[in-house]
Amino acid sequence: MNPTNSVATLTPISTAAAACAPPRLRRLRLGGWAAVLLLAACSQGIGKLAALEPGDDAACALDGMVLKDYPASKAQIRYGDGKTDYFCDVMELFGAVLTPDQRRPVAGLYVQDMGRAVWKRPVGHWIPAREAWYVAGSRRAGSMGPTIIPFASADAARAFAAVEGGKVLRFDQVDSGMLRMGGGAAHDHGMH
């Protein structure tokens, strides 16, 4: 053990020394290496999970609204355990990410690219939420009023904002103050 930190220093032993070691000591060394390998594997983190297309009966994790009954982009969080939470509005996804009630390993955040999906009933076109471009403050309403609208490209987001108004943002530029635009996640906070 290095006295300046708590990381164990593992020193390889020669093959001859290992062969001469008593069987109990060899088992301990093998067990120690197995533990190191196990810890290394566990520390790699949660792998990414792909987006799932919600079924016709899929409901919003926050308010129980059936997704297919509402317009605009939907969102989803894929967790490390394979479970998925769907949201009927992108603002709800941001509400969950910016003010999380619980800490679960997240394996993916996804939104629908509204540059390609049909507004009234979007299906497919899932893109990683952290890579998307967003328009906040447009005249377009989502499932619960004002919303934040995702796009796969900056050009598509700018073109939308030029017609519908709003400000083009990246994922990390969205903050909790933007969720209080009269709908979306601001509405849901009162439901908890």
| Domain spans in the chain, listed from the N-terminal domain onward | 1-44, 67-189
Long-range contacts of the stretch 30-35 (C-beta < 8 A, 24+): none
pLDDT mean over 50-62: 96
pLDDT at residue 159, rounded to an integer: 98
30 pLDDT above the threshold of 70: no
Residue type present at position 104: R
Q: Which residues contact 6 (CB under 8 A, 6 or more apart)?
A: none
pLDDT at residue 179, rounded to an integer: 86
pLDDT tens digits for 87-106? Answer: 999 999 999 998 877 678 99
pTM for this model (two decimals): 0.71
Place of tokens 């709908």: 183
HEC readout, 121-190: CCCCCEEEHHHCEEEEEEEEEECCEEEEEEECCHHHHHHHHHHHCCEEEEHHHCCHHHHCCCCHHHHHHC
pLDDT at residue 103, rounded to an integer: 79
CA pair distance 108, 1, nearest whole angstrom: 38
pLDDT tens digits for 57-78? Answer: 999 999 999 999 999 999 999 9
